[in-house]
Structure 1
């Protein structure tokens, strides 16, 4: 259903430092960039997530978060570690979330602009 999602960020360089590291662990890379924005997706593909420089950017309100697909549980672990090492804040360590499903394995972080980001895999 979704083609891509854009997030407003106050400091594009800071956001790229975070997303370049965290998304790489999920297999996503920068696919385009210029001084006002950057796009991420699968290598050789189009963007699925775009960051747009917006000086007055604010994260969406309560209840919104962005869940990113992980190829395996180890990638969820690496995403979480990279996010914390590159300016993110912990919002839920990697692990099973049985209240979401028997195989739901996820980690939750808050990016440097306050966006709530999840990495998840939902299979054995």
Structure 2
């Protein structure tokens, strides 16, 4: 359904450093960049997430909004969470099973340096 999603960020270098690390843990890479934006996606493909430098007027969505990123296996979820904390993110839910969402739903939740809520998830048996 979605082609891509963009986040407005206050500090492009800080945000790109964070997303370079956390998205690498899930197999995504920086697919393009310029002085005002960075795009991430699968190697050799187009962007699925873009960061856009905005110097004023940013409104970060509040509770109820988050971006869930697909992991291929549980180790990637663990690596995502660890990378986020090492690169300026805040914990918003340790890696683990979420039985309320399903018996195989394994996820971790973080808040990025700008305040966006992001999740890495795999919903499959290991």
Bucket of the pairwise TM-score, normalised by the shorter protein: over 0.9
**Matched positions, count:** 124
Q: TM-score, normalised by structure 1?
A: 0.98
Q: Does 1:9 align with 2:6?
A: no
1:76 counterpart residue number: 77
2:51 counterpart residue number: 51
What CA deviation, in whole Å up to 9, does each residue of 1:17-51 have, x standing for no partner? Answer: 10000000000000000000000000000000000
RMSD over equivalenced CA pairs, Å: 0.6
Residue 102 of structure 1: how far off its partner (Å): 0.6
SS of residue matched to 2:13: helix
Residue 5 of structure 1: how far off its partner (Å): 0.3
1:36 counterpart residue number: 36
Q: After the TM superposition, which segments of 4 or more aligned residues of structure 1 sit over 4 Å from their partners?
A: none
Aligned positions of 1:59-74 closer than 5 A: 59-74=60-75
Gaps of 5+ in 2: none
Residue 61 of structure 1: how far off its partner (Å): 2.0
Q: TM-score, normalised by structure 2?
A: 0.97
